[in-house]
């Protein structure tokens, strides 16, 4: 902050009203996509019904929506505002919006957003040029994708009793291809927000199975055969959330705001 003479002045306000408004808007969008939009957009009306009933994916695959969406908006807040704690505050606003719209009955489900934001905040401190990360993330994506491709090829043996006999696992194939694309992108364009999205979305998946079972802790653990595809969906979904957040920031800074500045100078 500067005075009329151009000298730097201390401001006790960490986030400006514009920044707070931006984070609140992102929180509202995140809650709308997770809770309210599926009823109007998805044919089944719910994320679980869509991924399990239509896509024939295992329980927990909805993390591609209920996990990747908040990851996207939390990462986007951190990229646009570029201040520590922006992600955590965005998650707290998401929690506030959920409690205001759904009531205190949702209190036991909202802690995951704060934990995911903390993970993302710490992931932003990672040295993205470290060779370990450049090897781990793409390799894990590639191995999971190849394994799912093998599952699709030999589905008669692996999916016996899980999928209908005459059902081709088309969406498994799609996620395997998406995972391979993400592996290639991560090998050459691995950034902190990509790592942050992947780790946080995997946590969403773990939190779902540990805490959100109908009969208490660890009551909804997945079958061993579904773990690879669930990990692939969670990791690739988080990676895509990070990439989408960066792409949104790139479009905003290089096209929308530039056009606005050009118009203001006319």
What mean pLDDT value characterizes the chain?
A: 83
Domain presence at residue 240: yes
Report residue 2's pLDDT band, with 50, 70 and 90 as the boundaries: very low
Instruction: Look up the domain containing 93 and give its range.
Output: 17-264
Report residue 263's pLDDT band, with 50, 70 and 90 as the boundaries: very low
Share of the chain above pLDDT 70, in %: 83
Domain presence at residue 10: no
Domain presence at residue 247: yes
Average pLDDT, integer, range 169-174? 86
Average pLDDT, integer, range 49-70? 88
> Dihedral through CA 168, CA 169, CA 175, CA 181, nearest 10?
-40
Domain presence at residue 116: yes
Task: Give the pLDDT confidence score for residue 239 in this predicted structure.
Answer: 92
User: Which of 217, 248, 233, 245 has the alpha carbon at shortest distance from 123?
Assistant: 245
Total count of residues recorded for the chain? 266
Task: Give the pLDDT confidence score for residue 146 in this predicted structure.
Answer: 93
pLDDT tens digits along 216-245: 677 778 888 788 999 999 999 999 999 999
Domain presence at residue 8: no
Domain presence at residue 3: no
Task: Give the pLDDT confidence score for residue 103 in this predicted structure.
Answer: 76
- Name which of 74-78, 80-84, 220-224, 247-251 the model is least confident about: 220-224
Q: How many distinct structural domains can be found in the chain? A: 1
Domain presence at residue 11: no
Domain presence at residue 251: yes
């Amino acid at each position: 902050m500067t005075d009329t003479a151009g000298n730097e002045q201390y401001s006790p306000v960490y986030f400006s009203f514009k920044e707070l408004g931006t984070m609140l808007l992102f929180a509202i969008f995140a809650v709308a996509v997770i809770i309210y939009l599926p009823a109007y957009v998805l044919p089944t009306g719910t994320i679980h019904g869509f991924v399990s009933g239509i896509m024939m994916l295992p329980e927990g695959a909805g993390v591609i929506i209920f996990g990747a969406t908040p990851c996207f908006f939390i990462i986007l807040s951190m990229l646009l505002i570029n201040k520590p704690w922006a992600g955590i505050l965005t998650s707290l606003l998401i929690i506030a919006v959920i409690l205001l719209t759904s009531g205190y009955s949702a209190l036991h489900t909202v802690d995951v957003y704060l934990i995911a934001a903390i993970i993302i905040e710490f992931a932003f401190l990672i040295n993205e040029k470290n060779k370990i990360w450049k090897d781990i993330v793409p390799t894990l994506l590639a191995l999971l994708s190849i394994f799912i491709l093998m599952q699709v090829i030999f589905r008669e043996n692996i999916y016996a009793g899980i999928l209908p006999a005459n059902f081709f696992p088309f969406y498994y194939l799609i996620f395997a291809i998406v995972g391979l694309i993400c592996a290639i992108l991560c090998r050459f364009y691995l950034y902190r927000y990509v790592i942050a999205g992947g780790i946080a979305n995997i946590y969403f998946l773990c939190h779902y199975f540990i805490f959100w079972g109908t009969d208490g802790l660890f009551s909804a653990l997945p079958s061993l055969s579904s773990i690879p595809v669930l990990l692939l969906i969670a990791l690739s979904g988080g990676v895509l959330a990070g990439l989408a957040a960066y792409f949104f920031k790139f479009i905003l800074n290089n096209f929308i705001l530039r056009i606005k500045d050009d118009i203001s100078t006319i």
